[in-house]
Each structure stands twice: as C-alpha cells, then as structure tokens.
A = this chain, B = another copy of it.
Amino acid sequence: MAQTASSEIPDFAKGDGMVPAIAQDHQTGEVLMMAYMNPESYAETLATGRAVYFSRSRNKLWRKGEESGNVQLVKSIFVDCDADTILLKVEQLGGAACHEGYKSCFFRQVTPAGLNVVGQRVFDPKQVYKK
C-alpha cells in the first residue's frame, strides 16, 4: 500500500513522517479532534474506511475507538493546499470523539475570565476505559 503513485500526497516528509489530521463531523461540521497520521495509519484509514492515527505519545498506530468502541467511519478525505494537513469528514460512533467523554475535544472556550466548558459530555470516561 505504500507503493501508491501519489505517495507525495499527503506529504509526510514535511513533518518528520507525520501530518496533522483534523476530524470533522460529516453532518454538523463540528470539529471533533486533531491527531496525527503517518503513512501506515493513512493507508490503513484508506483501506478500512475507519480513522487510524499515529499516537506520538505511545509511538504506535492508534485505531480510534478500538478500546472505547467510538470508531470514526470516514465519509470523505481532503488535503490542504500544501498537502501537509488532512481533513477527515467522519461519522463518530458513540457520539463522542474525546477520551474525556465529550463530543468534541474542543469543549473548552477561551474567555477573558478563563476557560469555559461549553461541550456536552456524552459518556463517563471511567465507565468506558478500564485500566
């Protein structure tokens, strides 16, 4: 799968072998999260239709939802003008993309008075992730 003709798009070389990937709800347009993809995770995303990222902290493929069940079904994929950022339009199963149980990871708004939680909590992380 690494031998595709369009191996320069996305241009993984720019960011040390990884590019940022934004996941957006395909229906509402809500931005759910941002993570990183390497060529292997991108290829697996294309092949399976499910979002697969590369976890920088764990240094391995991150099949989104493999523990929580909150898989992202990929509806369409876009690349930006510089080919160094990916945009995924997804159907977020389980209703929440964030490991803290919110629909979107961007559940905190910056205000002059500090951070304000504006997101809706969909699940309790303690019940979904067992150590």
CB-CB contacts below 8 Å: A70-94 with B: 76-82, 85, 87
With A22-B22, A106-B78: A87-B31 Cβ-Cβ less than 8 Å:
yes
A45–chain B nearest beta-carbon distance, Å: 10
Contacts of A28 in B (CB 8 A): 29
Given A79-B115, A99-B81: A31 and B24 within 8 A (CB)? yes
Identical chains in the assembly: 2
Q: Please, how many residues of chain A have a CB less than 8 angstroms from a CB on the other chain?
A: 34
Contact at B110–A79, with CB atoms within 8 Å? yes
Q: Which residue of B lies closest to A98 (CB)?
A: B81
A91 CB to nearest B CB, Å:
16
Q: A9 CA to B111 CA in the complex, in Å? A: 12
Q: Is A34 touching B85 in the complex (CB atoms < 8 A)?
A: yes
Q: A78-B110, A79-B108 given; name 5 further pairs at CB < 8 Å.
A: A6-B115, A9-B115, A77-B110, A78-B107, A80-B108
